[in-house]
């Protein structure tokens, strides 16, 4: 495969079990985490800042006309799909615990144009999503759809994730 490739694909699944990581908000360096994946400290050793922020790191399964593959989507491209920062999505899922499980339903079968690049790090396993463009004109960012679903379900007293079509 070339270093950069643009593909038309269908989004099959999004893995949100470990969708974000902490960086220093000032210098953008990754903050160390402990064995459980949690940030062991919010203190940046390089610039001495104590203000971390979350960035996206999302594994996605996509299907092209030739294959099914797993790709990794980092902050800039993920923000296009989610419509908010990783911090905002994290806080939203804290208030609405079922929202993270609804993401796959929101994106189910969505057609996208993705530009994929080879990772710079030779140890990396997955192609990187450099850019993503939804092909359907009416597609909304996930956070907009999730807010609508959560508001609708809360007003009905229903917290099921199965019926979210409007």
- What domains sit in the chain, N to C, each tagged with a CATH number? 2-17+58-155 (2.40.50.140)
* Mean pLDDT value across residues 85-92: 93
**Can you give the C-alpha Rg of the chain in angstroms?**
17
Query: What pLDDT sits at residue 47?
Result: 86
Tokens, residue 109:
């079968």
Query: What pLDDT sits at residue 17?
Result: 85
pLDDT in tens, 20-57: 888 888 888 888 775 544 545 677 888 888 888 889 99
Tokens, residue 41:
């400290």
pLDDT in tens, 53-75: 889 999 999 999 999 999 999 99
pLDDT in tens, 15-24: 988 888 888 8
Query: What pLDDT sits at residue 156?
Result: 60
For residues 40 and 21, what is the distance between their CA atoms, to the nearest angstrom?
12
Report the relative pairing of strands 111-117 and 68-74 from DSSP bridges.
unpaired
Tokens, residue 117:
């690049």
pLDDT in tens, 100-128: 889 999 998 899 999 999 988 777 789 99
pLDDT at 160 over 60: no
pLDDT at 165 over 50: no
Query: What pLDDT sits at residue 34?
Result: 56
Tokens, residue 31:
């903050």
Tokens, residue 23:
């960086």
The alpha-helical segments, DSSP class H, found in 23-141 are 75-82, 86-95, 99-107
Q: What percent of the chain has pLDDT over 70?
A: 86
For residues 78 and 80, what is the distance between their CA atoms, to the nearest angstrom?
5
Tokens, residue 114:
């993705």
Tokens, residue 85:
């920062």
Q: Which residue has the tokens 């609508």?
A: 148
Whether 43 contacts 52, CB under 8 Å: no
């Amino acid at each position: 495969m070339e270093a950069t490739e643009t593909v038309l694909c269908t989004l099959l699944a999004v893995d949100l079990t470990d969708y974000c990581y902490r960086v220093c908000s000032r210098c953008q360096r990754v903050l160390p985490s402990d064995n459980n994946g949690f940030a062991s400290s919010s203190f940046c050793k390089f610039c001495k800042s104590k203000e971390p922020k979350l960035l996206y790191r999302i594994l996605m399964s996509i299907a092209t006309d030739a294959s099914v593959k797993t790709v990794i989507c980092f902050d800039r491209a993920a923000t296009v799909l989610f419509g908010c920062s990783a911090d905002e999505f994290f806080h939203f899922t804290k208030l609405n615990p079922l929202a993270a499980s609804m993401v796959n339903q929101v994106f189910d079968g969505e057609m996208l144009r993705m530009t994929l690049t080879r990772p710079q790090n030779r140890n990396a396993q997955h192609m990187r999503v450099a850019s993503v463009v939804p092909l359907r004109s009416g597609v909304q960012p996930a956070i907009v759809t999730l807010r609508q679903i959560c508001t609708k379900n809360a007003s009905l007293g229903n917290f099921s994730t199965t019926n979210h079509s409007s």
